[in-house]
Structure 1
Amino acid sequence: MRLVKCLLIATWLIGWGVPSLIASDAPPRYWKLTILHTNDTHGNLLPFNYPDPPDPNTQEAQLALRRNIGGIARRATLVRQLRKAFGTTWVADVGDFCDGTAFSVEYRGEADVSAMNALGYTIGTHGNHEFNNPRAQWQKLVQMARYPVVCANVVDATTRQPLLKPYEVLQVEGARIAVFGLLTESTRGYPATREGIEILDAVDTARHVVPQLRQQADVVILLSHLGYEVDVQLAREVPGIDVIIGGHSHTRLAKPDFVPAGELTSAFRKNGTVVVQAFQWGGELGKLEVILRRDPRTGKWTFMGYRGELLLVSPDIPDDPAVRAVVERFWKPMEKYYGVVLGEAEDDFTRRGNDDAEYNLVADALREMLGTEADLENMGGVRAPILRGTITRYDLAKALPFGNTMVKFRVTGAQLRELLRRTRPAVSGIRYRYQGGELVEVTVNGQPLQEDRQYLVSTNSYFAQRYLQPMGIAYEDTGRKRLDVVSDYILKHKRIRPAYDGRRVVDSTVY
């Protein structure tokens, strides 16, 4: 009977990617930990839609469903079901819950943390967008969380002391599991970091922290807001990390990646690092099952196998009442403003080739409403497509979740050419081609760019601070929010249609 039982266990473990077992006199002990994970939810507390049919080259094309998915109240129900089914189950968030919807605009992350508290997150880290707040607001988000927020490379610029717990060592079933966090260095320059916060080099920090954790824990897990490519680099260059739960790059890993670390040294330990990431916006919930083995002779636990997948947060999952109540508490005060219907989109505003129709809409709207000759908008500043059908202000706020105001400025043609060359922005009133590192064609309102002529141009306050100020270009801030100006444009026109007109052509090999 005992032999049959051992054979059954061996068969089960092989199915998890675990090497064949070697019989021993004392039976070892096995234990499974289930980790549910989210990243880059960006304020999407309510269900949302993607364009359907999607661009076949996009990650959303891989989804089984693209309409009416996600929502943290549904996610909470799914988590509750999985906790009941799988026993010991953790829920981890890898940051960037800020900046993405009207909830972000109005509550600066507080609605998200309140909802995550109600769901019952176990542990988390922060992303760069949490630092797109004043330092006091960022600290408030840390204090609000009823779960540990860990990050090893965020320090006070003066004292050099950590501003967050670098790591937590959690003990379950006798196994010691260390969880630490890392944040992308691209966070440097965000509002909170300009108030005395320094972001240390992530790879160097990992090289310093991981050996310490290996002395304290049986398993080391990293919550990484660094992006998939850096996660793989870390797995290759920093030995000792068993699992990396990633974010920042919005990468959809339908199944875990495994980065091996040299030759197999033990039949009972995975020699390498598992890397997972759950795309974006909470449309799917990542699930990673980790199997640990306890050596009967030493009592030490080792990471032995894994299995992972992404679970769709689908419309047939009912809302968790407690989490829904939290979301409704934040939605009700802003429903009257953000629930307003602005107009109707005749088709999806998405990307086709070099044309980003949602950016073209924003630039066209701002140029018309501000009465300028041209408008420039930084790429990355429009965060979501605008979909066919009724457009509410909430829908538009998903595309424009930042509180940028609109500015006007005058530049010479030579300065305008340099701005286009440096920034390669979305435009209105301008057509240009960028190829081989140079502008090879520029026209303004159908006429060739004149180097010595003055042009009246509009843009947003972020673009002005990042690009105009360093070039010494003066500008006037109108004080009008970009979201409001584009809302007024749609209210004026009632029906809008996407423009795919080739106004911005950028050689992707150099962009």
Structure 2
Amino acid sequence: MSKRRFMSQSALLLSLALASGVVVQADETSTAPAESTASAIANTETSTAETGTEANSSSSDLSDEVTEPVAEATNTDNTTDSEGIATPDVAPTSATTATAEPAAASSSEESKDIAPVEGQTVDVRIISTTDLHTNLVNYDYYQDKPSQSVGLAKTAVLIDQAKAENPNVILMDNGDTIQGTPLGTYKAIVDKPEAGEQHPMYAALESLGYDVGTLGNHEFNYGLDYLDQVISTAGMPIVNANVLDATTLKPLYKTYEIITKTFTDTTGKPVTLKLGVTGIVPPQILNWDKANLEGKVVVKDSVEALEALVPEIRAAGADLVFVLSHSGIGDDVYEKGEENEGYQIAGIEGVDAVVTGHSHAEFPAGGKGFYSRYAGVDDVNGLINGTPVTMAGKYGDHLGIIDLNITYKNGKWQTNSAKGEIRKIDTKSDIVDESIIAIAKEAHEGTVNYVRQQVGTTTAPINSYFALVKDDPSVQIVNNAQIWYAKQELAGTPEASLPILSAAAPFKAGGRDFNDVTSYTDIPAGPIAIKNVADLYLYDNVTAILKLTGADIREWLEMSAGQFNQIDPTSTAPQNIVNSDYRIYNFDVIDGVTYEYDITQPNKYDRSGKLVNPDASRVRNLSYQGQPIDDKQEFIVVTNNYRANGSFPGVVNASLNRLLNLENRQAIINYIISEKTINPSADNNWNFTNSIAGLDLRFYSADSAKALIAGAEDMVYLAPADGHDGFGEYRFIYTEKKVVVTPDQPAPSPTLTDKDRQEIRDIVRKAYQETQQVPLKQAGQSKASVIPTSTKELPSTGSTDSSWMTLLGLNLLAVTGLFGRKSRKH
């Protein structure tokens, strides 16, 4: 068994040491400060740890399209060439020198190019995936069970079918590939690929014959060095047109690839085409991953970059030009530098087809989709101003297909007809591509073992089924942990004297427009494992603190109030209380203050954060410790790097904006370890005003959640929801809420001296030396998934083996004794 795998089994013990800020070193070469359980494990592998961080959430904190915010991380500097240009292991090829590299489906090595003849017609098929987010197999790591609604292993079945229908195929991936599930975190931090080792996501893509890929915003979450390493072993070209080196202003990555393919025309004759492919990423990565990218890269506006590059691709010999746009479709109004420009990209001269993504949405959508409202959008045939466009959802749940019928006329290929479509995976069966399951086996098993490690216990279930209509335990736990962590971090600083608040949002509350009934946090009472913490906090965000005034906090909450529709207090008809167009990750709950929303009033801001009703105000009775907040009073608010670096109203006014040392998820883990047992009770610090009392208010949640509200005063289950498979319709009943006053968080642990830290290092190092290595059991393999069956591999939830827990207990006693001894000295 490798040393790396042994380290992953020790994550729980390391979390204990890390909760005290201790650096654990397994050899002389490990010197990086420990920031998380995972990073400490990575340190023992003689390489500097890179801490994965969140959004979008993927994603912009104000995007009207992105359903999930995203991550930020610290990283070491890139290696540089003789001119000081940051470069990956394989030097990028600029646009002027890009050449076609052999691809799995290319026939350029097998035969000479066959020139077209006048009038020759070819049917070309573009197949694409987008926003896979390390959903490699059909498995939900948060619920620790198979899932038939996600996974490249299921998408691959559709790929094979699409190829069988028309073998004239180019297969492409649109980014956000290496981050998004615990598997992504595991491979980036716990079990990093060694030099020359291929990331399992790209191993799978290569095995399926992918010709080319691009970068999504989440590719930057783990730092440029990690990304360069992954690209160097991708096994296929990775292209990007708009990320430049900050010093030289030269492209940091290969800007395009010309892929030579010999296809069969409609009469059965071969003909060679040269297909140019480029890609873009939103400029907002400079905010979302500021810690990784500041001073290292600049990002051009997507439209401007492509308008300059497409003619070059044509001049280099491309017959057709395709754009991998890791950008949402957006709207029909162009603003330079905006996040979602797919609509405009489809209108660029010389672009023959566009694959979009990033928004986790679906296009075309049968004429009923969000984008059908814009001029020039054919939501049935997948066309935007005549150019074929697809957006194939997220996590491998759909496959994008664009069909082009082209004819060679007057010395060039011209499009006769085009059509875009998306195909949904089969969610009713466990049929998968077994070759992908085999490729994923080691990473999947390691991830499952990693997420099963127990960190504490909860006295009651934690779920987010009703997080959009009432104060919720799943958000409360996150805020409690963030305040606990910030008090330790700020001890002894001037900021420690200010009131410390915390902001968090329910990341899982039904998916985009209530389209994913599995998208809820659902943790049973009992042991809490890393998988449960990941379910509470999906993204690799880094904690951040802001210094704001009372007035700023009010504006922050006014923006959050966009989660609710405006209610007519005079109407007796049913009214939907939840605004399904609002992105749930923007619905921040701020704990440490109390407040109410009057949702009979209009919103002050729209869902993009633009001021639309300057005189409007929904926030009522905003108080701190029972007293109305003074607009000039200063507060510290703990949040994440995405919110801190976004354009949220109120947040942008921060007089202090600083990243802390841990990921939000790791802060939650440390909090639970410290508390041992948590009580997931919401303190009801927010509610609605009585302006909605007696009205017929409705909302959607999972139909299965009806069992949780038996006897509840504030909601009633009505019936299964029409048009929302698996969802139920509920009635919300206004009730007065009693605020639960919680005691102050415990004081932070005593500051440790260097001698204290060295003693704890010695304890943990000795534990490693004395622990027997237990090989991982090879699990049985089925169509649906590969799941380790052994319960003796790690101190995991449900484990029947007490050896590791005994070891942990002994070291807890040792560390406790150390703390006690030091505290008595002081």
TM-score tier, shorter chain, comes to: 0.7 to 0.9
Give the TM-score of the pair, scaled to structure 2: 0.48
Report Cα offsets for 1:120-151 as digits up to 9, x if no partner.
Answer: 32211101111122211121122121111111
Give, in whole Å, the separation in 2 of the partners of 1:377 and 1:202: 32
Q: Which residue of 2 aligns with 1:105?
A: 185
Secondary structure (helix, strand or coil) at the match of 1:181 reads: strand
In structure 2, the CA distance between the partners of 1:195 and 1:472, relative to structure 1 (3 Å rule), is closer
Is this contact kept in 2: 1:355–1:500, CA < 8 A? yes
Q: Could you tell me which amino acid in structure 1 is paired with residue 436 of structure 2?
A: V
Distance in 1 (CA, whole Å) between partners of 2:641 and 2:400 is 36
Residue 321 of structure 2 corresponds to residue 220 of structure 1: yes
Query: Is the aligned partner of 1:82 residue 2:162?
Result: yes
Q: 2:555 & 2:628 partners in 1: Cα distance?
A: 16
Whichever residue aligns with residue 319 of structure 2, its letter is D
Provide Cα deviations, 1:357-411, integer angstroms capped at 9, x if missing partner.
75455325545787897642365977974344658633542552444465788x6
Pairwise CA distance, 1:245: 0.4
Alpha-carbon deviation of 1:211?
A: 2.5
Q: Are 1:183 and 2:183 matched, yes or no?
A: no
Kindly tell me: are residues 300 and 72 of structure 1, through their superposed partners in 2, closer, same or farther at Cα, counting changes over 3 Å? closer
SS of the residue corresponding to residue 363 of structure 1 reads helix
Alignment partner of 1:397 is 2:534: yes
Residue 202 of structure 2 corresponds to residue 202 of structure 1: no
The structure whose residues are more often helix, as a share, is: 1
2:203 match: secondary structure:
helix
Identity of aligned residues (%): 21
Cα pair 1:122 1:147 within 8 Å, conserved: yes
Match of 1:448 among 598, 617, 628: 628
Asked if 2 retains the 8 angstrom alpha-carbon contact of 1:287 and 1:311, the reply is: no
1:251 aligns with 2:361: yes
- Using the TM superposition, name which of 348-357 and 220-229 deviates more: 348-357
- The question of whether the paired residues in 2 share the 8 Å contact of 1:43 and 1:99 is answered with yes
**What letter matches 2:175 in structure 1?**
G
**Do structure 1's residue 116 and structure 2's residue 242 form an aligned pair?**
no
Distance 1:162 1:89, change over 3 A: same
Say if 1:217 and 1:476 are closer, same or farther in 2 by CA, change over 3 A: closer
Give unmatched runs, 5+ long, in structure 2. 1-116, 193-198, 264-271, 331-340, 377-383, 489-498, 512-518, 560-587, 598-602, 605-612, 690-826
| Alignment match, 1:239 | 349
Which of 656, 666, 688 is residue 472 of structure 1 equivalent to? 656
Whether contact under 8 Å (2:137, 2:154) holds in the other structure is: no
1:43-192 to 2 correspondence within 5 Å? Answer: 43-47=134-138, 68-108=148-188, 110-172=199-261, 173=263, 174-189=272-287, 190=289, 191-192=291-292
Query: 2:138·2:153 contact (CA, 8 Å) conserved in 1?
Result: no
Distance in 2 between residues matched to 1:475 and 1:387, nearest whole Å? 27
CA shift at 1:179, angstroms? Answer: 1.2
- Secondary structure of 2:238's aligned partner: coil
Q: Structure 1 residue aligned with 2:123, among 19, 27, 32?
A: 32
Aligned-residue offset at 1:329: 0.9
Shift of 1:253: 1.2
AA partner of residue 349 (structure 1): Y
Deviation track 1:184-207 (CA, whole Å, cap 9, x = no partner) reads 111124244225212112111121
- What is the alpha-carbon distance in structure 2 between the residues aligned to residue 490 and residue 286 of structure 1? 47
CA 1:353/1:206 → structure 2, altered by over 3 Å: closer, same or farther?
A: farther
State the partner residue of 1:273. Answer: 387
| Change in CA separation of 1:234 and 1:468 when aligned onto 2, cut-off 3 Å | closer
Match of 1:306 in 2: 419
- Decide which of 335, 351, 370 is 2:448's aligned counterpart: 335
Query: Deviations for 1:300-320, whole angstroms, at most 9, x for unmatched residues?
Result: 453533352322243525332
> Per the alignment, in what secondary structure is the counterpart of residue 228 of structure 1?
coil
Instruction: Kindly tell me the number of residue pairs found equivalent between the two proteins.
Output: 454
**Do the aligned partners of 2:132 and 2:396 also contact (CA within 8 Å) in 1?**
yes
Q: 2:590 aligns with which of 393, 417, 427?
A: 427
Matched position secondary structure for 2:677: helix
Q: 1:157 to 1:450 in 2, by over 3 A?
A: closer
- CA distance change for structure 1 residues 308 and 220 in 2, over 3 Å: closer, same or farther? same
Q: CA deviation at 1:338?
A: 0.5
Q: Aligned ranges for residues 350-389 of structure 1 at < 5 Å?
A: 352=468, 358-360=474-476, 362-364=478-480, 366-367=482-483, 375-377=501-503, 385-388=519-522
Structure 1 unpaired stretches of 5+ = 1-25, 51-65, 262-269, 506-511
- Matched residue SS, 1:171: strand
Residue in 2 that maps onto 1:316: 429
Q: CA 1:271–1:449 in structure 2 vs 1: closer, same or farther (change >3 Å)?
A: closer
Structure 1 residues 203-223: Cα deviation after superposition (integer angstroms, max 9, x where no partner): 111211222334433322110
More displaced 10-residue stretch of structure 1: 107-116 or 135-144 = 107-116
1:484 equivalent in alignment to 2:687: no
Greater Cα shift, 87-96 or 367-376: 367-376
* C-alpha deviation, 1:330, in angstroms: 1.1
CA apart distance, 1:73:
1.9
Q: What secondary structure sits across from 1:277 in the alignment? A: strand
Q: Is the 8 A contact 2:464 2:506 kept in 1?
A: no
Alpha-carbon distance change, 141 to 380 in structure 1, aligned in 2, over 3 angstroms: farther
Structure 1's 304 and 408: CA in aligned 2 closer, same or farther, altered over 3 A?
Answer: closer
**What whole-Å deviation, never above 9, does each CA across 1:274-308 have from its counterpart, x for those lacking one?**
1210121211222222222234x747453533352
How far is the alpha carbon of 1:260 from its aligned partner?
9.3
Q: Amino acid of the residue matched to residue 448 of structure 1?
A: P
Q: Tell me the distance in 2 between the aligned counterparts of 1:250 and 1:272.
A: 23
Equivalent AA in structure 2 for residue 428 of structure 1: D
- CA gap of 1:317–1:134, structure 2 versus 1, over 3 A, is same
Change (3 A) 1:317 1:122: farther
3-state SS of paired residue (1:176): strand
| Cα-to-partner distance string for 1:221-242 (whole Å, 9 max, x where unaligned) | 1100121111112333x22212
Give the corresponding residue for 1:264: none
Other-structure match for 2:94 = none
Return the letter of the residue paired with 1:106: Y
- Residues 357 and 498 of structure 1 are in contact (CA less than 8 Å); yes or no, is this contact kept in structure 2? yes
The corresponding residue for 2:705 is none
Q: For 1:37, give the aligned amino acid.
A: S
Structure 1's 359 and 48: CA in aligned 2 closer, same or farther, altered over 3 A?
farther
Structure 1 Cα separation of the partners of residues 636 and 313 of structure 2: 57
TM-superposed CA distance for 1:83, in Å, is 2.4
Partner-residue secondary structure (3-state), 1:185: coil
CA–CA separation in structure 1 for the residues paired with 2:622 and 2:346: 45
Q: Is the 8 A contact 2:545 2:659 kept in 1?
A: yes
TM-score, normalising length from structure 1? 0.73
CA distance, structure 2, for counterparts of residue 124 and residue 35 of structure 1: 13
Structure 2 CA distance, aligned partners of 1:398 and 1:359? 11
1:81/1:345 Cα in 2 relative to 1: closer, same or farther (>3 Å)?
farther
